[in-house]
């Protein structure tokens, strides 16, 4: 057996991680996020191609989110006993089918059905990723493994969506979805060759959804996910009108680039420290996000301060998914996949809630209401993280690691 060590990208000498397998999971996350977000950069082309309004084209994203929201919990619960690799391959096959149909379909209704299928596949895949990564490594490396598996998310948002929009202008929007289908097909081969397989839960170890929800620490983590991500999406969804109100409407692309770059830095830092300092990192991320919200509230008329605040926000948010998925994976233990499906549902509820609540705030009170709303949500997050010192975001694990 090979016992050599290697210096990992996260900066520490440790037992060799199964990098090829973890990167396959990262690419699966990349495909999932890019399939979801790609239409946002291609709305005019989709509108012309299908003969529909841009508002209808925007429902490509909505129906995808509905599929994820509807499928994550019931599908994950129903497939607890299925072996993990065949289940992962089935989710990827869903992306192949959905993106292929989207590539060639001339029917809006058929394309929406395909997008719903893609969302269903995404809901199940997100429930699988963190638990799959955690099973590949010993306990002290679980956080780092999940961080690698999650790196595809910020990469897709930071570079994949802009690249897709650029390609769509030259080669057409259907080509972009065709490429996504081919990428998912290649990934299926990679998974079949490189990924280890694991058994599903045996019947006597499966818990009902209600039992999983009452596992100590699960509810605090889910609350933190819901509230933290809700705060993020209120601002992220309406960043364009926020910037317009501050006289920076022409700089939205640069602002989002700053957010994307610092998000990558955030996930790297989380990857370095998460196995020893999960609780501290969650506190720090929430506090940094709160600081950014405060600066945006009091100094939005100063472009330099806006860039600083957005950079801080990106740094805080970049590793959030890894923090929350690691927290619930460690908290839920053998029922992590079901707990992860609840996290996926909470995350998608926060996305929808951000659009609704942010829209109400914008219409009734204007962008000036964003900062106070975010601060209220983030203070609530800090309180729950602090209270969950025994289960969810335990303090004792960090003390043990520092010994």
Q: What is the pLDDT of residue 72?
A: 86
CB 69 within 8 A of CB 341: no
The answer to whether 336 and 134 have CB atoms below 8 angstroms apart is yes
pLDDT tens sequence across 43-54: 788 888 999 887
Q: Is 185 exposed, middle or buried (0-12, 13-18, 19+ CB in 10 A)?
A: middle
Q: Which residues in 50-75 are b (16+ Cβ under 10 Å) and which e?
A: beeeeeebebbbebbbbbbbbbbbeb
User: What does the pLDDT read at residue 10?
Assistant: 44
State the Rg of the chain over Cα. Answer: 21
Question: Rounded distance, CA 17 to CA 391, Å?
Answer: 27
Q: What is the pLDDT of residues 13-44, one digit of tens each?
A: 446 888 999 999 999 999 998 898 788 778 78
CB neighbourhood size of 107 (10 A): 11
By DSSP bridging, strand 5-7 and strand 13-15 are antiparallel
Contacts of 83 (CB under 8 A, 6+ apart): 197, 198, 199, 200
* Cβ atoms < 10 Å from Cβ of 250: 9
Residue 5: predicted pLDDT: 36
Domains by residue range for the chain, with CATH? 16-202 (1.20.1250.20), 209-402 (1.20.1250.20)
Tell me what pLDDT residue 13 has.
40
pTM here is 0.77
| pLDDT tens by residue, 101-137 | 999 999 999 999 999 999 999 989 988 888 888 889 8
Per-residue pLDDT of 366-398, as tens digits, reads 999 999 999 999 999 999 999 998 888 987 655
Instruction: Give the Cα separation of 230 and 91 in Å (integer).
Output: 27
pLDDT for res 2 = 36
pLDDT of residue 177: 94
The pLDDT of residue 163: 76
Structure tokens at 242: 């926020």
Instruction: For the chain, list residues with pLDDT below 70.
Output: 1-15, 158, 161, 202-208, 396-403
């Amino acid at each position: 057996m090979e016992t050599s060590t290697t210096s990992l990208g996260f900066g520490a000498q440790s037992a060799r991680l199964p990098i090829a397998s973890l990167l396959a999971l990262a690419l699966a996350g990349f495909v999932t996020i890019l399939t979801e977000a790609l239409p946002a950069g291609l709305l005019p082309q989709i509108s012309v191609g299908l003969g529909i309004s841009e508002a209808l084209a925007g429902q490509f994203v909505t129906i995808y989110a509905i599929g994820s929201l509807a499928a994550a919990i019931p599908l994950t619960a129903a497939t607890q006993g299925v072996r993990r690799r065949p289940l992962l391959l089935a989710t990827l096959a869903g992306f192949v089918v959905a993106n292929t149909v989207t590539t060639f379909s001339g029917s809006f209704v058929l394309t929406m059905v395909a997008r719903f299928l893609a969302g269903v596949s995404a809901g199940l895949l997100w429930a699988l990723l963190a638990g799959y990564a955690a099973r590949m490594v010993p306990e002290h490396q679980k956080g780092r493994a999940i961080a690698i598996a999650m790196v595809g998310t910020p990469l897709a948002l930071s570079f994949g969506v802009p690249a897709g929009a650029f390609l769509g202008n030259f080669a057409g929007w259907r080509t972009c979805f065709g490429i996504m289908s081919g990428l998912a097909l290649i990934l299926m081969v990679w998974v079949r060759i490189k990924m280890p397989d694991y058994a599903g839960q045996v019947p006597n170890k499966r818990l009902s959804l209600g039992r999983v929800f009452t596992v100590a620490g699960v509810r605090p983590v889910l609350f933190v996910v819901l509230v933290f991500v809700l705060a993020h999406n209120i601002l992220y969804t309406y960043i364009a009108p926020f910037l317009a109100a501050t006289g920076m409407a022409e700089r939205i692309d640069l602002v989002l680039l700053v957010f994307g770059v610092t998000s990558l830095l955030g996930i790297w830092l989380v990857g370095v420290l998460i196995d020893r300092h999960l609780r501290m990192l969650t506190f720090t991320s929430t506090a940094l996000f709160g600081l950014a919200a405060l600066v945006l509230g009091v100094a939005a008329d100063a472009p330099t301060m806006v860039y600083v605040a957005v950079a801080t926000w990106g740094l805080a948010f970049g590793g959030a998914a890894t923090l929350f998925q690691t927290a619930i994976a460690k908290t839920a233990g053998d029922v992590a996949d079901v707990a992860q499906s609840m996290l996926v549902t909470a995350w998608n509820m926060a996305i929808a809630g951000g659009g609704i609540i942010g829209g109400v705030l914008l219409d009734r009170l204007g962008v000036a209401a964003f900062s106070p709303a975010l601060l209220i949500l983030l203070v609530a997050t800090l309180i729950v993280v602090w209270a969950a010192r025994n289960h969810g975001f335990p303090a004792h694990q960090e003390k043990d690691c520092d010994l």
